[in-house]
Amino acid sequence: MNTAILGTGSYLPETVLTSTELSRRLGLGDQWIYDKTGIAERRVAAPAEATSDLATRAAEHALRAANLAATDIDLLIVATSTPDQPIPATACAVQANLGAMRAAAFDVDSVCSGFVYALVTAHALLEADPLPRNALVIGADTYSRILNYEDRRTCVLFGDGAGAVVLGKRGGGRGLLSSALGSDGTTADFVTVPGGGSRRPASEETLAAGEHYFAMRGRQVRDLAARVLPDLVVDVAKAAELEVSEVDLIVPHQANGRMLEDLAKTLDLRPEQMHLTVERYGNTGAASVPITLDDAVRSGRLFDDDVVLLVAFGGGMSWGGATLRWTRPRKPGEPR
């Protein structure tokens, strides 16, 4: 038995914020954001939508695709760095929304690499215990709530959204083939929200200093990604006894379109070998990989027995990758 993806789903809020509109707000040329990032638009959550709401919608779609009910789920993990609130876990709110009351629920925060961390964690837990059969793994972020829309270094990159997968135990050699996780805490100051935690509790001082906004040292992040990601892709493929050229589809974290162009050149990827959504949705944090994976599925980019490689990096700094042999989602009425 192995851990396979049985269904995927995603949810993007209705409101679209184009790069042209955002450029004008920031006093930039109409093409400045797109030229720098490859992002044409992103989604913004409605005032009444929190991260758990986005996550719930994506989870519902994934459950339908897997032909499973919420009560079939034994484990529910939400990867997010923008939780509904510090306590309790956003996963518990999603559990209640879905009615997945048999599931153990918890959050993972590895920022933009969180979904890959959560996926590998769910796989390990399912493999270690014969009793749980199915897991729901969700990446969801609402970055619009922590962005300073006067800071063009950060606000131009991010959007809101959620993506989800249902994992289940299946035979036939399908499912997760290899994975690798890594982090470097000495670079923790590259991506931060300085205020609001136990180090810098909320106060008039932290609010006045704007410490509750997302902050990023963009050049350092880009340099680290350029150094780590190509080797990570090669290593994760090699652990599955594959060359990168043999991978059917690579689904990377949609951090920045120009960065992904550089990655494709470094790895000498074929144009059809990488699936992208960055132009339409921007960087959706932990939701980026599962949203893009679901988009690939709905676009007909994945076929039975294909090998798909997921790769991401995020604050911490942290990074992770995984390869899976794809299995065709079960049709309604088909035996489990």
The catalytic residue positions are: 112, 253, 283
How many Cα atoms within 13 Å fall on the side-chain side of residue 213? Answer: 16
Which structure tokens are listed for 209?
Answer: 């200093």
| Contact (Cβ atoms closer than 8 angstroms) between residue 151 and residue 210 | no
| Contact (Cβ atoms closer than 8 angstroms) between residue 140 and residue 80 | yes
Neighbours of 91 (CB within 10 A): 28
What is the 3-class SS of the chain, one letter each residue?
CEEEEEEEEEECCCEEEEHHHHHHHCCCCCCHHHHHHCCCEEEECCCCCCHHHHHHHHHHHHHHHHCCCHHHCCEEEEECCCCCCCCCCHHHHHHHHHCCCCCEEEEECCHHHHHHHHHHHHHHHHHHCCCCCEEEEEEEEEHHHCCCCCCCCCCCCECEEEEEEEEEEECCCCEEEEEEEEECHHHHHHEECCCCCCCCCCCHHHHHCCCCCCEECHHHHHHHHHHHHHHHHHHHHHHCCCCHHHCCEEEECCCCHHHHHHHHHHHCCCHHHECCCHHHHCECHHHHHHHHHHHHHHCCCCCCCCEEEEEEEECCCEEEEEEEECCCCCCCCCCC
| Contact (Cβ atoms closer than 8 angstroms) between residue 255 and residue 313 | yes
Which structure tokens are listed for 34?
Answer: 């797109």
